[in-house]
Amino acid sequence: MENDLLNITINFAEQSFKIPIEREDEVFYRKAAKYVDDKFLKYRKIHPRHNADVHLSLVSLELAIELLKSEKERESVYQRTEALLKELEENLKK
């Protein structure tokens, strides 16, 4: 079954954007737009003489760093889980 499309307006970077999305993703889009907008406003306040392109570039850099850290943390959790499973299996064989 296909998801219903929903047209929403999101606001960030001092602009409004109408976009069609799948209804089930609405909460993610709204939260993401607020998250990006909050970061944008932070950089606009820190660097008021620069334009929105610079602010959005800084937001993009910050989000990329967060993503890379998150991937590193997930890999660490995966490795620890694998080690614990191996240890558990060895203990169950005893």
Q: Which of 57, 56, 52, 7 shows the shortest CA–CA distance to 29?
A: 7
H helices of 1-94, where? 26-46, 52-93
What's the pLDDT at 46? 96
Q: What is the pLDDT of residues 10-68, one digit of tens each?
A: 887 778 989 999 999 999 999 999 999 999 999 999 999 999 999 999 999 999 999 99
Q: What is the pTM of this model?
A: 0.74
Q: Measuring CA to CA, how many Å separate 80 from each of 5, 83, 90, 91?
A: 40, 5, 15, 16
Range 32-40 contact pairs with CB under 8 angstroms and sequence separation of 24 or more? 36/12, 36/63, 37/11, 37/12, 37/13, 39/63, 40/12, 40/13, 40/14
Q: What is the pLDDT of residues 54-71, one digit of tens each?
A: 999 999 999 999 999 999
